[in-house]
């Protein structure tokens, strides 16, 4: 049996993206972190400054026999606005940019084709970046499973909950039981 694979996405606050991906069947783990920047071992405070080049991202460990990478792309592009440059909702700055970090040539090819196809469905240009993964830095422990641990947090209620609900409504065929 093929081992799990890893995919990495950034599209605003990692709490929201993490919560949405955790809804899917075939997901072994979702880890919030930082990637695509210039500072080694960045802290949340450093990344929030916007001076590290890092984006808030999630790494998704998934079983490709249960959920395909293309399904992950579908979910990712459904839960954020890929036409917003360096912003998602109230979160503004390069750390909140839309980015797909590919782990191999297959992911690069699939993401490239997906971005090109989805770009045609928007009036504005899709600004999602596509880069090789580089180094992923796991976020501090209090950021992991944030929505799950803090479902009544006001930010989660206004921003993460709607993304989770969208996944539940739109992707019923790939939801965890």
Q: What residues contact 97, with CB distance under 8 A and at least 6 apart?
A: 10, 55, 85, 86, 127, 129
What are the structure tokens assigned to 74, written together? 């579908």
CA distance 17 to 75: 10
> pLDDT tens digits for 143-167?
999 999 999 999 999 999 999 999 9
Catalytic residue among 13, 16, 48, 156: 13
Query: Checking DSSP bridges between strand 129-132 and strand 98-102, what pairing results, if any?
Result: parallel
Q: What percent of the chain is predicted at pLDDT more than 70?
A: 98
CATH level 2 (architecture), domain 5-172: 2-Layer Sandwich (3.30)
Residue 37 pLDDT > 80, yes or no? yes
> pLDDT tens digits for 48-69?
999 999 999 999 999 999 999 9
Q: Do 40 and 23 touch, CB atoms closer than 8 A?
A: no
Respond yes or no: is residue 13 known to be catalytic: yes
CA distance 81 to 98: 8
Residue 176: the pLDDT is 80
What are the structure tokens assigned to 108, written together? 């690069």
Give 50: exposed, middle or buried? Use CB within 10 Å, 0-12, 13-18, 19+. middle
């Amino acid at each position: 049996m093929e081992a799990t694979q890893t995919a990495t996405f950034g599209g605003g606050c990692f709490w929201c993206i993490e919560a949405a991906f955790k809804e899917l069947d075939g997901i072994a783990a979702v880890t919030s972190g930082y990637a695509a920047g210039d500072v080694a071992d960045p802290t949340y405070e450093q990344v929030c400054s916007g001076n590290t080049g890092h984006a808030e991202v999630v790494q998704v460990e998934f079983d490709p026999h249960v959920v395909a990478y293309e399904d992950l792309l579908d979910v990712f592009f459904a839960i954020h606005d890929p036409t917003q440059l360096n912003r998602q909702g109230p979160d503004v700055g390069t750390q909140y940019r839309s980015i797909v970090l590919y782990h191999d040539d297959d992911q690069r090819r699939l993401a490239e084709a997906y971005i090109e196809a989805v770009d045609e469905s928007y009036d504005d240009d899709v600004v999602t970046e596509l880069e090789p993964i580089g180094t992923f830095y796991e976020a501090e422990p209090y950021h992991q499973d944030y929505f799950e641990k803090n479902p009544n947090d006001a930010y989660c209620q206004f921003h993460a909950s709607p993304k989770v609900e969208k996944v539940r409504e739109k992707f019923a065929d790939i939801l965890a039981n």
